[in-house]
Amino acid sequence: MGVDPKDLSDAVRRRVSATIYNRGRMYYIEGRVGPISTDGKVVEAVVEGTSDYRVRIITEDEPVITCNCPFGGICKHAVAVALKVSEVPGRMGEDRDLDAEVDDLVSLSARMRTKAEKRALERRADTLLTEISELGPEESEAFLRRAVSYLEGTPFVEPFTEEWTRTIAELEADGAAVLAGDILEVDPERGLEAIARGRFSPGDAEALLARLPTIAGPIESDMASRARVHLLGVLGRTDELLAIIGSDAPVEAIEEGCQHLEGAGMGEECLPIVIEAMGDRTPRERRALHLIAAGLDISEDDRIDHLRECLGLWVDREVMGRLVEVSPDAAVTTALEMDPEARVLLAELLLEVGEVSALTDLALGSDDVDMVEWIAEESEPSIELAEHLTDLLLTSKGRDVLWRIRRRFEDLKDNSGLPAMLVRLRERYPRRPGLRGLLDDFENG
C-alpha cells in the first residue's frame, strides 16, 4: 500500500538532514516547484534551481525518490516536491481543494519570517485568486466569503476581500443585497463599495438603504455617499438625489447622481449642480467635474468650454480625443494656446482620424518647423498641406529648407494640382532665387 500523499513530506523529512529539509522548504515556499504530474502512484515535477531538475517519487510504503541534480537521491528538490504534494491536498489526480489551500496559506503565513517567504506567499495568493475567479460569480462568492474569514489577521486578507467585493457586481439582483449586507457586517467600507457597484431590485435597495444608518452611519466616507446615491437612484427618488449631490458631495456620487437624474428625464437639473460643486475643490476634482459636465446633454459650445477647462488643468490623450470628436477646429485652437507637447498629441490624434483640414490649420498655426514637417511626413500627401508647409518653411528665418520643400514636391509629382500650386508659389515669392530655380525644375520636368 502506498504512502498517503498527506504524509509524504513527513516520510521524506525523516530521511534528510535539517539543512536539506529547510532548503527544500524554502524552494517550496518560493514557488519553484512546477506542476505536479501523477497517476496516483508516481509523482513527477520539475523544480527550478541552478537548472531545471526533474524529481520522481514512487509513493510506496517507503517512497522511492530520484532527482537528476548533481546531489541525487533525496535532495532539497525532492523535499520541495513532497511538501507541495503533502500540504496541498487534491494534487494527486483529484479536484483542487481550494479551502485546503487557504488553510495552507494561513498556516504558512504564521511561520513566515523573511521577505523572500512573504513574496513567495504573495505569489501563491495571486495564483489562488486567479483560480477562484474562474469558478463563476456564485461559486467564487461562496468560497471568498469563507476565505475572508479564514485569512482575517493575515497580510493576504485585503486582495481576497477586494475580489469578494468585485463578485457582487457580477451577480444578478436576486440575492445580491444579502451578499452586500454580509460584507457590511465583516468590513463596512468594503460592504459600501459592494452596494455602490451592485445591481439590486427595488425591494432589496429599500432594505439596504434602511440598514445604512445603523451600519454605515458612523463612516464619513466618499463610499458611504456613493452607496446612498446608488440606492436612491435604483429607487428613483430624484428629490432626495438632488438634495445629497450638492457642493459637498464626492465627485463619484455627483457623477452617478447625474446619471440617474438624466435617466429620469431631469438632466437639465444637473449642470447647475456640477458647476456649483466646482467651488472649493482640488484641481483633480475640478477636472473630473468638468468631464462630468461635458458628458451631460448640453450645447456643443458648453461641452467645448468644459473640455478646454480640463485641458487647461493638464493635458491628456483621452480629453484631447473627446475634444477632437466634438470639434477638431476647437481642438486646434486649444492646442495652439498650449505647449508643443499638446500640439504633437493633437497632431497624432488628427492623423488617426484623418482630419487633414484641421492638421493643416495646426501646421499653419505652429511656429515649430520640425513639427510642421513631421505632420506633413506622417499625413497623406496633399497639395493644400504641401503649399502651407512651403509658406511656413520659407518664412522661417535663417533656415535652409529648400531640400525639405523638394521632398514634399516629389511626393506630389503625379498630382494634377501641382502645376497650379507652383504658379501660386512663384507669384507669392518672386524674389526667392532658390525657390524660383526649384519651381523651374518641377514646371519643366
Domains of the chain, by residue range, sit at: 1-94, 314-379, 381-445
**For 341-363, how does the pLDDT look when each residue is reduced to its tens digit (9 = 90+)?**
888 889 888 888 878 778 778 87
445 pLDDT band, cuts 50/70/90, is: low
Q: What is the pLDDT of residue 173?
A: 47
Mean per-residue pLDDT for 361-378? Answer: 71
What is the rounded CA–CA span in Å between residue 228 and residue 262? 18
What is the rounded CA–CA span in Å between residue 401 and residue 178? 73
204 pLDDT band, cuts 50/70/90, is: confident
Tell whether the model's pLDDT for residue 332 goes beyond 90: yes
| Side-chain-side CA neighbours of residue 289 (13 Å) | 25
Question: Which one of 103-107, 137-141, 184-188, 259-263 scores highest in mean pLDDT?
Answer: 259-263
Question: What cell does 170 get?
Answer: 457580477
88 pLDDT band, cuts 50/70/90, is: very low
Tell whether the model's pLDDT for residue 221 goes beyond 80: no
Tell whether the model's pLDDT for residue 331 goes beyond 90: yes
71 pLDDT band, cuts 50/70/90, is: confident
CA-nearest of 160, 220, 159, 156 to 188 is 220
Question: What cell does 55 get?
Answer: 524529481
Q: What is the pLDDT of residue 218?
A: 47
**For 387-436, how does the pLDDT look when each residue is reduced to its tens digit (9 = 90+)?**
766 776 666 644 556 666 777 677 777 777 777 877 877 787 777 777 77
| Side-chain-side CA neighbours of residue 212 (13 Å) | 26
**For 248-277, how does the pLDDT look when each residue is reduced to its tens digit (9 = 90+)?**
788 888 988 998 888 888 888 888 989 988
- 77 vs 204, more confident: 77
Mean pLDDT of the chain: 77
Mean per-residue pLDDT for 84-112? Answer: 61
- In sign, the C-alpha dihedral spanning 188, 193, 196, 202 is negative
Considering only 24-38, 87-101, 194-208, 357-371, which range has the smallest mean pLDDT?
87-101
* 20 Cβ neighbours under 8 A, 6+ residues apart: 74, 75, 76, 79
60 pLDDT band, cuts 50/70/90, is: confident
Tell whether the model's pLDDT for residue 330 goes beyond 90: yes
- Percent of the chain at pLDDT > 90 equals 9
What is the rounded CA–CA span in Å between residue 169 and residue 256? 16
What is the rounded CA–CA span in Å between residue 225 and residue 248? 10
Burial class of residue 248, CB neighbours in 10 A (0-12, 13-18, 19+) = exposed
Tell whether the model's pLDDT for residue 106 goes beyond 60: yes
Question: What cell does 310 get?
Answer: 480640463
Q: Strand 42-48 to strand 52-58: parallel, antiparallel, or no bridges (unpaired)?
A: antiparallel
Considering only 15-19, 29-33, 369-373, which range has the smallest mean pLDDT?
369-373
Q: What is the pLDDT of residue 263?
A: 86
Residue 66: its H or E element: strand 64-67
* 189 Cβ neighbours under 8 A, 6+ residues apart: 219, 221, 223
Question: Which one of 15-24, 140-149, 263-272 scores highest in mean pLDDT?
Answer: 263-272
Neighbouring-strand partners of residue 58: 42, 64
Note whether 2 and 16 are within 8 A (CB). no
Angle, helices 76-87 vs 18-29, to 10°: value is 60
